[in-house]
Structure 1
């Protein structure tokens, strides 16, 4: 399987956005459902919208690069939760003020870590509190085709927190193809949102944020967080916790392979993107 490494310096020239509400029940479990109640969607299970978490050189907190490979900055936040996701590294076509196309090229494991107790109305303010407030694997896997016929359709997302030596499932084990919107449907939806999303409730208007995109390398899209286990719902991150997120080919690797890898076993995860962070 074709793996690629992007350095953090490379990613500083990508614009970072996340998809809100792309897994059933996640917004309710995250305490965000009320804020999104005014957002109308064309279909019942459609995502609610896109939010920014990093805009290079922006003159606000969005200009602070938040992504790290190995640590999470706890920042004395009382209610901090892992959000296990697939990240898509995308090329784009932009012309005359409109985003015309998004072309996913690679994917990786991503932690869209979130602050649950901020009182600000915008979702973006809960997603970037400075350096190391996000996580991405250093292992990126080439997308052969962004359709159900491609290899990504076989991948699952698993996430764990190890606390005081005890490993706990944090997010529910989820197939990538169980996202509400994915592949062509997600791509079409995102292009529409980038061009037409208005400022409403917890979401921003997006077109002003991409008006200088032509000189950038691309888009980093966090496709949406899985639902939580009972442990994940009720346990917020503490300093010293270890976070593990695996995006792995479930037709090639087993869940037990993942557990063995966390335990330090000699497992060669050739078809997997792994993220391991320590909360500091």
Structure 2
């Protein structure tokens, strides 16, 4: 699927313990949230048409290309939702319509001295990963198809498959469904350039008000291997979303399972 005209945004801190494990909690020490478990903010990872590094299309499918320097890169296993963006006459975002979802690797480098989250998120082609198929969203609310999905991830190294992120139900997101959507709309309109965060409304304007947004809604907590091991060339990454009513977390394909499989280079 061609996402080159779709703005790419991510949610920081939407699963308990992820920021602590990633060593990034201090980055947000001055960011005030309305609730203790609220996400910290939104960041861009792809800005269509931008002449900055974020204008380079970074989303791949079958391979992950590490930077050519010591990168300390970690998988960030996430669900990505494709939303239609609805603007009012003043170009404020007034609605987000969830269309479908897939798995996503918001791969991140643990970069010392980075002033913005986005500086850790995109360094070239194939620095992100997206699943091999999409699941249509019947309704982005309780009682919909996403109720029953789980997210898990693995890294295969030297022939051994290691759990990388914990297996988590999508209902385990701190903010989800209507609460997440309302929060996203507010942040897209009001988030200021502050600390590690950026003014998203300015990015929307600079991108000529894109019709759609691909939003990665937060990374799970890490399993022990994921917390202690950065990616290496030769690793294989698996990020899997599965319907717990009919699937398990294995690598076996099924009609209701979405598997992102990337070979690390």
| Paired residue secondary structure (1:103) | strand
Hey, what's the Cα distance between the residues in 1 that align with 2:184 and 2:15? 16
1:279 aligns with 2:264: yes
**Among residues 39, 47, 54, which one is paired with 2:46 in the alignment?**
54
Residue 87 of structure 1: aligned partner: 80
Contact 1:94 1:214 in 2 (8 A): no
Question: What secondary structure is seen at the aligned counterpart in 1 of 2:219?
Answer: coil
Do 1:118 and 1:126's aligned partners in 2 also have CA atoms closer than 8 Å?
no
Q: Does 1:193 align with 2:178?
A: no
Per the normalisation by structure 1, the TM-score is: 0.91
Deviation at 1:138, TM superposition (A): 2.5
Q: Which 5+ residue runs of structure 2 have no aligned equivalent?
A: none
User: Is residue 2:60 matched to residue 1:68?
Assistant: yes
Following superposition, the deviation at residue 212 of structure 1 comes to 5.0
Shift of 1:199: 1.1
1:109/1:136 contact within 8 Å kept: yes
Q: Distance in 1 between matches of 2:147 and 2:43?
A: 25
Is there any run of 5+ residues in structure 1 with no aligned partner, and where?
A: 1-6, 262-267
What does 1:56-205 align with in structure 2 at a 5 Å threshold?
Answer: 56-76=48-68, 77-95=70-88, 96-205=90-199
Contact 1:84 1:226 in 2 (8 A): yes
Query: Residues 133-164 of structure 1: CA distance to partner in whole angstroms, max 9, x if unpaired?
Result: 00001300100000111010100001000001
Contact 1:69 1:276 in 2 (8 A): yes
In 1, Cα distance between the equivalents of 2:104 and 2:71?
22
TM-score, normalised with respect to structure 2: 0.96
Give secondary structure in 2 for the equivalent of 1:228.
Answer: coil
- DSSP 3-state at the match of 1:52: strand
Answering whether residue 24 of structure 2 is matched by residue 32 of structure 1, we say yes
Aligned to 2:234: 240
* Root mean square deviation, CA, Å: 1.2
Find the aligned partners of 1:55 and 1:117 in 2 and give their Cα distance. 21
The secondary structure found in structure 2 opposite 1:88 is strand
